[in-house]
Amino acid sequence: MTTVAVKPATMAQALTRAMRDAMAADPAVHVLGEDVGTLGGVFRVTDGLAKEFGEDRCTDTPLAEAGILGAAVGMAMYGLRPVVEMQFDAFAYPAFEQLVSHVSRMRNRTRGRMPLPITVRIPYGGGIGGVEHHSDSSEAYYMATPGLHVVTPATVADAYGLLRRAIASDDPVVFLEPKRLYWSKNTWNPEEPAEVEPIGRAVVRRTGRSATLITYGPSVPVCLEAAEAARAEGWDLEVVDLRSLVPFDDETVCASVRRTGRAVVVHESTGFGGPGGEIAARITERCFHHLEAPVLRVAGFDLPYPPPMLERHHLPGVDRVLDAVARLQWEAEG
C-alpha cells in the first residue's frame, strides 16, 4: 500500500486516530485514565473519543494510577481490551506494583488461561520544559519485567501502526509515547493509515556504511540529524530505530553492525543500568569479531532528570552523538 500525503498530521493525531479506529473496530476496546474524557487528555491524545463512543468506552477515572491499572486488569479478565493513559512518565510509578506483580505475569501465573490484553500508554521523556516528575525515561524498569512488551514510536506512521498493534496484542504492552514528538508532523495519510510490522521489528531509518546508530523514540530524529551532519566528516552513518525494546530485534541490529563494524547506542534515559548497556552487551556477544571498536553509549547523565532550564545539558544532542562517532576511530587511536 502506498501512502499518499493529503495533509501533514502530528504524532498526537495519529495516536488518537489509532484509538478511534481500534474502538470502532472492536467494542471490547475501552480507554480509561485521568482526564481522558471531557478534556481529551492533557496532551489531547484522547480528544473526541468520549464524545464519539460515550463515557463508558472512554472513562474519566478517579486520580489513582494503581486503581486505574488495577481496574483495567479486572476489565481485561472479563474480556475487554483496556487502553490506559498514565498522563506523565513519573505518574505511572504508583501503578508499578500492579504492572510488575499482576499485569506482566497473569498469563504466566495461570498457565496461559488468563492473558491480559492491556495497553498502558505512558508519555515519556524530556525536552518539553516540563517541571520535575514530567520528563523521566523509565523504559529500563519496564524492560526488566518479563511478560511485558515495551514499544515506542518515533514517526507519525509508526505511532498509528504500533498503537493499533499494541491494542490488538493479547499481551500487555507498555506503549511509551515520546512526548517531545507529539507535535512532530510528517506526510502520513490519516485517511488511509498504513499498517506497521508486528511488534518486535526494528527498522533501518537511514542506510550507511561506516557505523550504526542504534536508537529509539525521541532520539531517532537526533540521530538522523547527526547522520546528516556527519557526512561532512566523511562518515556514512546507518540509523536503526528499534521501535520495540521488548521483544528485542537482535537480527536487524546485528545485521547492521556486522555490515558497519561500529555501533553507538543513543537514548535519553540514564546510561548506568539503562537500555544501552543491555544493547551493547547483546551486540558484543553476537558480533564481537565484526567490531572495529567498542560499542559506545550516548545517554542521559546518571542523575535524576534535571530541572527544565538545565535539561539541554543533559539530553543527548547531535554534538554528543558526533563526538561518540569520532571516538569510533579506535584503530587509528591505537
Partner 1 sequence: MTVLEQRGAYRPSPPPAWQPRMDPAPLLPDAEPYRVLGTEAAAGADPDLLRRLHAQLVRGRRYNTQATALTKQGRLAVYPSSTGQEACEIAAALALEERDWLFPSYRDTLAVVARGVDPVEALTLLRGDWHTGYDPYAHRVAPLSTPLATQLPHAVGLAHAARLKGDDVVALAMVGDGGTSEGDFHEALNFAAVWQAPVVFLVQNNGFAISVPLAKQTAAPSLAHKAVGYGMPGRLVDGNDAAAVHEVLTDAVRHARAGGGPTLIEAVTYRIDAHTNADDATRYRGDAEVEAWRAHDPVRLLETELTERGLIDAAGLEAVRGDAEAMAADLRARMNQDPGLDPMDLFDHVYAETTAQLREQRDLLRAELAAEQDGPDPQEGDRR
Residue 209 C-alpha cell reads as 556504511
Which residues form the interface with partner 1 (CB under 8 A)?
30, 56, 61-62, 64, 66-67, 69-80, 82, 94, 97-98, 101-102, 105-115, 146-147, 149, 169-171, 200, 246-248, 250-251
CB of 57 to partner 1, least distance (A): 9
Compare residues 69 and 120 and give the one whose CB is closer to partner 1.
69
In angstroms, what is the minimal distance from the CB of 97 to partner 1?
6
Angle 204-205-210 (CA atoms, 0-180°, nearest 5)? 70
Task: Provide the minimum distance between the beta carbon of 85 and partner 1 in the complex, in angstroms, as a whole number.
Answer: 15
Nearer to partner 1 by Cβ, of 112 and 334: the residue is: 112
Task: Please identify, using beta-carbon distances, which residue of 145 and 219 lies nearer to partner 1.
Answer: 145
Cell (9 digits) for 80:
475487554
Q: How far is the CB of 29 from partner 1 (least distance, A)?
A: 12
Residues 22 and 173: beta-carbon distance below 8 Å: no
Burial of 36 (0-12, 13-18, 19+ CB in 10 A): buried
- Annotated active-site residue 289? The verdict is no
CB of residue 117 to partner 1, shortest distance in Å? 9
Name the active-site residue from 134, 149, 267, 314.
134
Residues shown for the chain: 334
Nearer to partner 1 by Cβ, of 171 and 292: the residue is 171
Nearest residue (CB) to partner 1, 97 versus 233: 97
The residues carrying an active-site annotation are 134
